[in-house]
Structure 1
Amino acid sequence: MDGALDLFAQPAFVAGSSALLVVLALAAFYFFWRSGRERVARDTALEQERLLRQQFEAVMTSSRDGIMILTRTGDVALMSDVAAGILGLNAADTTGLPLSRLPLRCVDQHHRPLLGRDAFALTEEGRPRIIGVPGRRGPDDIRWLHIKADQVEQAPHGQPVTVVTIMDTTGLREAAEALNRSDAQFRRAMENAPTGMALVDLEWRLMEVNRAFAEMMGHTVAALRGTPFSALSHPQDIQAERDQLERLYEGYQSHFSLEKRYVRTDGNVVWAVLDVGLVRYAGGAPDHYVVQLRDTTDDRMHSELLAHRAMHDPLTGLANRTLLHEVLENLLAQPDADGRVGVIAVDLDGFKGLNDRFGHATGDSALVHVAGILRAATGGSGTVARIGGDEFVIAVQDPDCSKALFDIAASIHEGLKRPLAVKRHQIQLGASIGIAMADDDSLAGGSATLLSAADAAMYRAKAAGKSRTEVFEASMRTSHDSQSALGAELARAIEHGDLVLHYQPILELATRSVVGYEALVRWQHPTRGLLLPGAFLPLIEDKGLAVTLGAALVEQASQFLARHPSESTWVSLNVSADQLGDSEFADRVLSAIGRHHLTPQRIVVELTEASLVAPNTRIRHELTELRNAGVPILLDDFGTGVSPLSYLRDLPVSGVKLDMSFVAGIPEDPSGAKVSRALGALARELGLATIAEGIETEAQAEFLGRCGWRYGQGWLFGVAQPGAAVIAAHSRLSTSLIDPNPRETGELDLKGLGG
Structure 2
Amino acid sequence: MGGFLELLQKPNVATGVAVFVLVALAGVFVSFIRSGRVRRSRDLALRKERSMRKQFEAILSSARDGVLIISRTSEIVVLTDMAAHMMGIDKSAVLGTPLGQLPFKAVDEHGRPLLVQEVFAPGRDDDRPRVIGVPGRRGSEDVRWLQVKSRKVPDAVDGDSATVTTLMDTSGLQEAAEALNRSDAQFRRAMENAPVGMALVDLEWRLMAVNRAFATMMGSTVAALRGTPFSALSHPRDVQAEREQLQRLYDGLQNHFSLEKRYVRADGNVVWAVLDVALVRYAGGAPDHYVVQVRDSTDDRLHSELMAHRAMHDPLTGLANRTLMQEVLQKVLDQPDATSRVGVIAVDLDGFKGLNDRFGHAAGDSALVHVAGVLRSATAGRGTVARIGGDEFVIVVQDSDCGKALYEIAGAIHAGLKRPLQVKRHQLNLHCSVGIAMADGDTVAGGAPSLLSAADAAMYRAKALGKSRTEVYDPSMQSTNDHHSVLGGELAKAIEHGDLVLHYQPVMDLASRSVVGYEALVRWQHPTRGLLLPGAFLGLLDDRKLATELGTALVELAAAFLAQFPEPGVWVSLNVSADQLGDSEFANSVLSAIARYRLSPQRLVVELTEASLVAPNTRIRHELTELRNAGVPILLDDFGTGVSPLSYLRDLPVSGVKLDMSFVAGIPEDPSGARVSRALGALARELGLATIAEGIETESQADFLSRCGWKYGQGWLFGVAQPAAAVFAMGLPFMESLIEARPQELDNPFDLPSARSAH
TM-score with structure 2 setting the length: 0.80
Q: Deviations over 1:656-687 (max 9, x none)?
A: 5863xx54xxxxxxxx45335545x559x766
1:435 alignment partner in structure 2: 436
Conserved? CA contact 1:514–1:739, under 8 Å? no
Q: Deviations over 1:114-134 (max 9, x none)?
A: 332222112354222222213
Query: Following the alignment from structure 1 to structure 2, what is the Cα–Cα distance between the partners of residues 504 and 192?
Result: 57
Amino acid at match of 1:283: G
Deviation of 1:414 after TM superposition, in Å, equals 3.0
1:311 alignment partner in structure 2: 312
Please report the RMSD computed on the Cα atoms of aligned residues, expressed in angstroms: 4.5
2:252 alignment partner in structure 1: 251
Q: Deviations over 1:248-272 (max 9, x none)?
A: 1111111111111111111221111
Conserved? CA contact 1:122–1:148, under 8 Å? yes
* SS class of match (1:346): strand
Q: Where does 1:182-193 land on structure 2 (aligned, <5 Å)?
A: 182-193=183-194
Moved more, 622-631 or 368-377: 622-631
* SS class of match (1:153): strand
Q: 1:749 to 1:230 in 2, by over 3 A?
A: farther
* SS class of match (1:338): helix
Deviation of 1:5 after TM superposition, in Å, equals 7.0
Moved more, 386-395 or 612-621: 612-621
Q: 1:34 to 1:336 in 2, by over 3 A?
A: farther
Moved more, 629-638 or 142-151: 629-638
Query: Following the alignment from structure 1 to structure 2, what is the Cα–Cα distance between the partners of residues 34 and 403?
Result: 138
Q: 1:39 to 1:180 in 2, by over 3 A?
A: same
Q: Where does 1:517-556 land on structure 2 (aligned, <5 Å)?
A: 520-523=521-524, 531-540=532-541, 543=544, 545-556=546-557
> Which consecutive unaligned segments of at least 5 residues does structure 1 have?
664-671, 694-703
Deviation of 1:183 after TM superposition, in Å, equals 1.1
Amino acid at match of 2:700: K
1:8 corresponds to 2:12: yes
Amino acid at match of 1:453: A
* SS class of match (2:471): strand
Query: Following the alignment from structure 1 to structure 2, what is the Cα–Cα distance between the partners of residues 190 and 515?
Result: 54
1:674 alignment partner in structure 2: 700
Query: Following the alignment from structure 2 to structure 1, what is the Cα–Cα distance between the partners of residues 531 and 711?
Result: 39
Query: Following the alignment from structure 1 to structure 2, what is the Cα–Cα distance between the partners of residues 489 and 418?
Result: 37
1:751 corresponds to 2:736: no
Conserved? CA contact 2:256–2:277, under 8 Å? yes
Query: Following the alignment from structure 1 to structure 2, what is the Cα–Cα distance between the partners of residues 365 and 330?
Result: 32
Identity score, percent: 56
2:669 alignment partner in structure 1: none
Q: Where does 1:359-508 land on structure 2 (aligned, <5 Å)?
A: 359-480=360-481, 482-484=483-485, 486-487=487-488, 490-491=491-492, 493-494=494-495, 496-501=496-501
Query: Following the alignment from structure 2 to structure 1, what is the Cα–Cα distance between the partners of residues 507 and 307?
Result: 37
1:82 corresponds to 2:82: yes
1:216 alignment partner in structure 2: 217
Q: 1:31 to 1:345 in 2, by over 3 A?
A: farther
Deviation of 1:112 after TM superposition, in Å, equals 2.8
Conserved? CA contact 1:558–1:596, under 8 Å? yes
1:147 alignment partner in structure 2: 148
1:123 alignment partner in structure 2: 123
Conserved? CA contact 1:208–1:225, under 8 Å? yes
Amino acid at match of 2:96: G
Conserved? CA contact 1:233–1:261, under 8 Å? yes
Q: 1:226 to 1:542 in 2, by over 3 A?
A: farther
Conserved? CA contact 1:606–1:635, under 8 Å? no
1:103 corresponds to 2:128: no
Query: Following the alignment from structure 1 to structure 2, what is the Cα–Cα distance between the partners of residues 181 and 56?
Result: 42
Query: Following the alignment from structure 1 to structure 2, what is the Cα–Cα distance between the partners of residues 574 and 651?
Result: 23
Query: Following the alignment from structure 1 to structure 2, what is the Cα–Cα distance between the partners of residues 180 and 472?
Result: 82
Amino acid at match of 1:423: K
1:666 alignment partner in structure 2: none
Query: Following the alignment from structure 2 to structure 1, what is the Cα–Cα distance between the partners of residues 565 and 98?
Result: 120
* SS class of match (1:126): coil
2:685 pairs with 641, 644, 649, which one? Answer: 649
Conserved? CA contact 2:604–2:633, under 8 Å? no
Query: Following the alignment from structure 2 to structure 1, what is the Cα–Cα distance between the partners of residues 408 and 691?
Result: 50
* SS class of match (2:500): strand
* SS class of match (2:69): strand
2:670 alignment partner in structure 1: none
* SS class of match (1:122): coil
Deviation of 1:229 after TM superposition, in Å, equals 1.0
How many residues are treated as equivalent by the alignment? 705
Conserved? CA contact 2:211–2:222, under 8 Å? yes
Q: Deviations over 1:582-607 (max 9, x none)?
A: 88656544432331345668x55484
Amino acid at match of 2:746: K
2:59 alignment partner in structure 1: 59
2:645 alignment partner in structure 1: none
Conserved? CA contact 1:604–1:634, under 8 Å? no
Amino acid at match of 2:175: E
1:696 alignment partner in structure 2: none
> Which consecutive unaligned segments of at least 5 residues does structure 2 have?
636-654, 666-672, 752-759
Q: Deviations over 1:710-739 (max 9, x none)?
A: xx456xxxx637x6xx79x97xx9x9x968
